[in-house]
Amino acid sequence: MGGDELAYLSLAAQARLIEKRELSPVDLVEHYLRRIERYDSHLNSYITVCADAALARAREAEAEIAAGDYRGPLHGIPYGVKDQFNTKGILTTLGSPILADNVPDHDATVIERMDGAGAILLGKQNMHEFGKGSTNRFHFGQPRNPWNLAYHASSSSSGSGSGPAAGLCSGALGEDTGGSIRGPAWASGIVGLRPTYGRVSRFGAVMYAYTQDTIGPLARNVEDCAILLQAIAGHDPKDPLSSTREVPDYRSALTEGLEGLRVAVVSEMTWMENTHEEVADAVKDAIEVFTSLGATVTEVSLPLVKYAVPLQMLTSDADAAGVFVHKWLRTRWSDFDKGTRSRVAAAAMVPAAVYTRAMRARALVRGQILDAFGDVDALISPTSPTPLKRIEEAREVVETPADMVKNVLSTRRLCTFPYSIANVPVIALPIGFSSSGLPLSLQIAARPFNEEMVFRVAHAYERATPWHDKHPDLDQTMARAGISANLAAAGE
DSSP string, 4-69: HHHHHS-HHHHHHHHHTTSS-HHHHHHHHHHHHHHHHHHH--EEEE-HHHHHHHHHHHHHHHHTT-
Per-residue pLDDT at 492: 39
Per-residue pLDDT at 490: 47
User: In the annotation, is 434 catalytic?
Assistant: no
Strand-pair partners of 218 = 172, 192
Strand-pair partners of 173 = 81, 217
What residues contact residue 120 under an 8 Å CB cut-off, 6+ apart? Answer: 25, 29, 54, 57, 58, 61, 76, 77, 78, 79
User: In the annotation, is 156 catalytic?
Assistant: yes
Per-residue pLDDT at 412: 67
Which of 156, 241, 219, 171 has its CA nearest to residue 458? 219
Per DSSP bridges, beta strands 46-49 and 78-82 are: unpaired
Per-residue pLDDT at 29: 98
Residues of the chain with pLDDT under 50: 490-492
Taking residue 359's Cβ as centre, other Cβ atoms within 10 Å add up to 14
Which of 151, 153, 189, 159 has its CA nearest to residue 175? 159
Q: Using CA atoms in the order 131, 132, 133, 138, what is the torsion angle rounded to 10 degrees?
A: -60
CATH number of 3-490: 3.90.1300.10
DSSP string, 390-443: BHHHH-----SHHHHHHHHT-SGGGGTHHHHHHT--EEEEEEEE-TTS-EEEEE
Q: How far apart are CA 178 and CA 319, in angstroms?
A: 13
Q: How far apart are CA 451 and CA 195, in angstroms?
A: 7
Catalytic hit among 96, 158, 162, 180:
180
Per-residue pLDDT at 489: 53
Q: How far apart are CA 492 and CA 39, in angstroms?
A: 10
Apex 393 CA angle, 392 and 397, nearest 5: 80
Which of 55, 46, 68 has its CA nearest to residue 27? 55
CB contact at 8 A, 144 and 469: no
Catalytic hit among 96, 154, 155, 156:
156
What residues contact residue 305 under an 8 Å CB cut-off, 6+ apart? Answer: 266, 268, 269, 365, 368, 369, 414, 418
Per-residue pLDDT at 340: 87
Catalytic hit among 10, 24, 45, 82:
82
Q: Indicate the pTM of the whole model.
A: 0.96
Cβ-defined contacts of 459-463 (< 8 Å, 24+): 459/222, 459/223, 459/253, 459/254, 460/256, 460/257, 460/258, 460/293, 461/286, 461/289, 461/290, 461/293, 461/429, 461/431, 462/191, 462/221, 462/222, 462/429
Per-residue pLDDT at 409: 59
User: In the annotation, is 96 catalytic?
Assistant: no
DSSP 3-state of 120: strand
Which of 164, 169, 238 has its CA nearest to residue 200? 238
Q: How far apart are CA 227 and CA 214, in angstroms?
A: 17
Per-residue pLDDT at 329: 85
Distances (CA, A) of 158 to 84, 321, 491: 12, 22, 20
How many alpha carbons lie under 13 Å from residue 390 in its C-beta half-sphere? 5
Which bin fits 52, alpha (ψ -120 to 50), beta or left (φ > 0)?
alpha
Q: How far apart are CA 43 and CA 143, in angstroms?
A: 6
